[in-house]
Structure 1
Amino acid sequence: MTELLIIKPSSLGDIVHGLQVATTLKAHRSDLRISWIVREMFAPLVKVCEAVDEVFVFERAGGAKAFLKLMAEVRKTKFDYVFDFQGLLRTGLMTSRALAKKKVGRTDAREMAGIFYDEKVPLPPDGRRSHAIDILLQFCPVLGVKPELSGVLKFREAESLNLKFTDGRGGAKPVLMFPDSRRVEKRWGGFKQLTELLLKEDRSRKVVWAGSNYLPDRNSFSAAQFLNLTGNTSLVSLPALIRRAEWVITNDSGPMHLAAAQGVRTMGIFGPTDPRLFGPYPLNGPTNFVVQAPVGDLKLLPAKDVYSRLERARSRFSK
């Protein structure tokens, strides 16, 4: 058995990319056992991913004591490889403390993390202008695997999970929206107006808002057509919630990447960030779509423009 430790503590979107690469490695290496170091807030998602065999939880706020306790647990296993997907000082320190025959990191690692690696994987042909997944895929050849995504990203579901309450009339799949984003400049303010347009068009449709932070809807919509799960969306249920949707409409955020990774029809709304680097992967995939705000300013993007783009995208699947 080949023991691999992946270090990717955060953030949600980056972890999803890493899980896709881990799935690719497992698809080609049946002898591979994958362990993962992840922050406590993202650990529930990594723990239910079928590609990951063991999870070590990094409590970032715990200080040096928590760090040393974590690494004592990690050092109980002698790994064949350590892959530092993050490339920062703290993950470099984790790499240095882990016991492994070979420690591999990124060429573009920052904060002096590169001094802890035995090998650095090259950047893709487009260099730093590459998508985050293409950068992580460069770790695959270290294990004799082509740097191309393969396999299906799968998650173990909780036995008691029942999401039928999210369906519209007659069991119609919902339109799932994630109105929030970690960064203020990536938050589009038109989700309420877009919801109004969608519900007005089809009375049988149901729109569901989801996310970790509560966003008020001020009881603007009928309970039969609308459900607000913001502030009440767990990472354990997130993959299943996304798979249940007809469409996922979201800012540039972790849920967008998770939707794209699961092959769900995804529309990402972009402001200052470049969808070629941070969009749903692959950007030209048949179920991946983006809307770019004029001059990168989401305040200049009206809901009717997003609705029109969505209608054009939906027409591809109704032919």
Structure 2
Amino acid sequence: MKSLLVIKPSSLGDIVHALQVVQTLAKERPECRISWVVRERFAGLVQAAPFVHEVIIFRRRDGTKAFLNLLRALRGRQFDAVWDMQGLLRSGLMTWAVRSPQKWGRKDAREGAGIFYDRRVALPAAEGPHHALDILQQFLPAAGVAPRIDFPLVLKPDAAQPWAEFFSADPANTFVMFTDSRGAEKEWPRFNELTTLIFETIPNARVAWCAGKLEEPKVAVPAERFLNLTGCPMDQMIALVRQPATFIGNDSGPMHLSAASGNRVLAIFGPTSPQRFGPYPLSNRKHCAVEAPGGNLAVLAPVAVLGALQELQARKL
């Protein structure tokens, strides 16, 4: 296989997982030229992957006309193989548009996407529930590569950030908190209290907040040891969660990126399953998941999260 088109337009966490799989492929098949279809919002992350040779941007916000233009552009392209790692109708149509003798798709594809594949990858052999990354690894045998994930995910260096000096202190006492998620039901509401507990119990702690929406702390924080990057653009968010630190946050794409980057990660789960969506793999001593009682994040106490954080910090790596 000399050329591959990967179709994985979104979302952030899913793209992180797909990049980890394709990184393995690139190590085993360095002669393969890899192209990738991705939404404009996440294009910077895929462009940062040194093993991706071409990024084809899907401008979803521009509507139907832009999508039809993309299909026309893909119709003129030839690849040895196509991997639809998204498994939805829109990505299935992209797969249909491309000329290729091998069009691989997910066995669990939805919205009728499966009619556009001529081959489907198997689900993991072990009994489920299967982690999202275990499912995507099953594309590797399509290229004759045994499923595996190598850490860390190696990306090109970030552009210089004005807050980079904040992360020059001890990574063990530096914490990045991602305070929101794609869905309100997955957002733990008590990061303010946890921030206070960290400053009270961990000497010289530094805490950086990050989120897609702007939020001001409702508790007193030491200005020289607190960084508020909530509301920052996507490129800064991606750079921030890759910093050497301990990540604390909800079930979210930034959590997966921090785990893939090799950081310690404490993930907070409510209605979703850490077995399916937690930092991969949960058996890694750098990874820990806290589950809210009954899946209700409103009743998860900050002291319980702090206890899990202290246990994670104490682990020998």
Relative to the length of structure 1, the TM-score reads 0.93
Residues 137 and 33 (structure 1), Cα distance of their counterparts in 2 relative to 1, 3 Å cut: same
**Equivalent residue, structure 2, for 1:124:** 124
Q: Could you list the runs of 5+ residues in structure 1 that have no partner in the other structure?
A: none
Q: Which residue identity lines up with residue 210 of structure 1 in the other structure?
A: C
Q: Which residue identity lines up with residue 311 of structure 1 in the other structure?
A: Q
Percent of aligned pairs sharing the same letter: 45
Matched, 1:111 2:120: no
Residues 24 and 155 (structure 1), Cα distance of their counterparts in 2 relative to 1, 3 Å cut: same
Partners of 2:193 and 2:302 within 8 A in 1? yes
**Equivalent residue, structure 2, for 1:250:** 249
SS at match of 2:56: strand
Bigger drift between 62-71 and 279-288 goes to: 62-71
Residue 150 of structure 1, CA deviation: 2.9
SS at match of 1:213: coil
Residue 200 of structure 1, CA deviation: 1.4
SS at match of 2:101: strand
**Equivalent residue, structure 1, for 2:27:** 27
Bigger drift between 47-56 and 179-188 goes to: 47-56
Bigger drift between 286-295 and 243-252 goes to: 243-252
Q: Could you list the runs of 5+ residues in structure 2 that have no partner in the other structure?
A: none
Alignment partners' CA distance in 2, 1:288 and 1:195:
20
Residue 73 of structure 1, CA deviation: 3.0
**Equivalent residue, structure 1, for 2:144:** 144
Residue 80 of structure 1, CA deviation: 0.6
Alignment partners' CA distance in 1, 2:177 and 2:251:
12
Alignment partners' CA distance in 1, 2:160 and 2:175:
23
SS at match of 2:120: strand
**Equivalent residue, structure 2, for 1:177:** 177
How many residues were matched structurally? Answer: 315
Alignment partners' CA distance in 1, 2:40 and 2:101:
27
Bigger drift between 213-222 and 81-90 goes to: 213-222
Residue 76 of structure 1, CA deviation: 4.0
Residues 34 and 135 (structure 1), Cα distance of their counterparts in 2 relative to 1, 3 Å cut: same
**1:100-121 deviation digits (Å, cap 9, x = unpaired):** 1210101111111111101011
Residue 242 of structure 1, CA deviation: 2.6
Alignment partners' CA distance in 1, 2:198 and 2:117:
51
Bigger drift between 226-235 and 122-131 goes to: 122-131
Alignment partners' CA distance in 2, 1:197 and 1:166:
20
Partners of 2:192 and 2:218 within 8 A in 1? no
Residue 213 of structure 1, CA deviation: 1.6
Relative to the length of structure 2, the TM-score reads 0.94
